[in-house]
Amino acid sequence: MKILVTAGPTREHLDPVRFLSNRSTGKMGYAIADVARLRGHDVQLISGPVSISSPASIVCSRITTAQEMHDLVLEQLPDMDVLVMCAAVADWRPCEVSRHKLKKNAMQSTLPLVRTADILEAVQRIRRPEQIIVGFAAETHDILSYARDKLDRKGMDLIVANDVSRSDAGFGADSNAVTLIDKTGAICELPLQSKHEVAKKILDWVELHAQKIHANASLR
């Protein structure tokens, strides 16, 4: 299959030296891309600013902002069978970006913000029915409730919910403990394990779901 994976954070600049971002390191997304490559899939990776080297034999496009990721995902999606939206994309950006470093005595005490483009919302409008869309829900409380809501609102086939308040899982850690929820409501809890092992379980689900899609198509 042709699989598009997004990974890492985005940075929304206030000026040339300051930006809004998050704690994502890209480890989970890179693990998914690497496992997919090892299984023989054609993998494209879109990565925010991270310190990880690109996996071998994978075309990696580096971006900085949410808008750049939005544009590249929509550009590449038509050629893909699967989108795994693992990146932690900023929800807000400063209304204005200064060309020069802002001096603190000239800065206001409030920062005007505007929402960034919602990538999965845009994907929902243009995806083909047979394309498989996987998303992530990084939460700190009411994990499953928020994940189910996001799954429904964004029209995904599978969502991977994880508690990023844990020190041994989520952002920055080499391990993860997640819950897979698919659009039928089926739930699979994965205990703490390496992110590569989690990636294998996610790819297992994707490959099985793809087989079901092809089987149903052959019956028509």
| pLDDT, tens digit (0-9, with 9 covering 90-100), for 139-188 | 999 999 999 999 999 999 999 999 999 999 989 999 999 999 999 999 99
Instruction: Supply the range of the domain harboring residue 203.
Output: 2-219
Residue 13, strand partner residues? 19
Q: Is a pLDDT exceeding 90 seen at residue 129?
A: yes
Report pLDDT digits (tens) over 85-114: 999 999 999 999 999 999 988 888 889 999
In this predicted structure, the answer to whether residue 219 has a pLDDT above a threshold of 80 is no
pLDDT of residue 214: 86
Predicted local distance difference test score (pLDDT) of residue 108: 84
Residue 7's closest CA among 42, 58, 57? 58
Q: How confident is the model over 13-41, as pLDDT tens digits?
A: 999 999 999 999 999 999 999 999 999 99
Asked if residue 138 has pLDDT above 90, the reply is: yes
Predicted confidence band of residue 218 (pLDDT cuts 50, 70, 90) = confident
**pLDDT at residue 109, rounded to an integer:** 85
CATH (domain of 41): 3.40.50.10300
pLDDT in tens, 49-63: 999 998 878 999 999
Is the pLDDT score of 217 beyond 90?
no
Question: How many structural domains does the chain have?
Answer: 1
Clarify whether 105 is annotated catalytic.
no
22, 105, 162, 176: which one is catalytic? 22
Whole-structure pTM value:
0.95
Distant-in-sequence contacts of 169-176, Cβ < 8 A, 24+ apart = 170/138, 171/22, 171/23, 171/24, 171/25, 171/88, 171/138, 172/23, 172/25, 172/27, 173/27, 174/27, 176/28
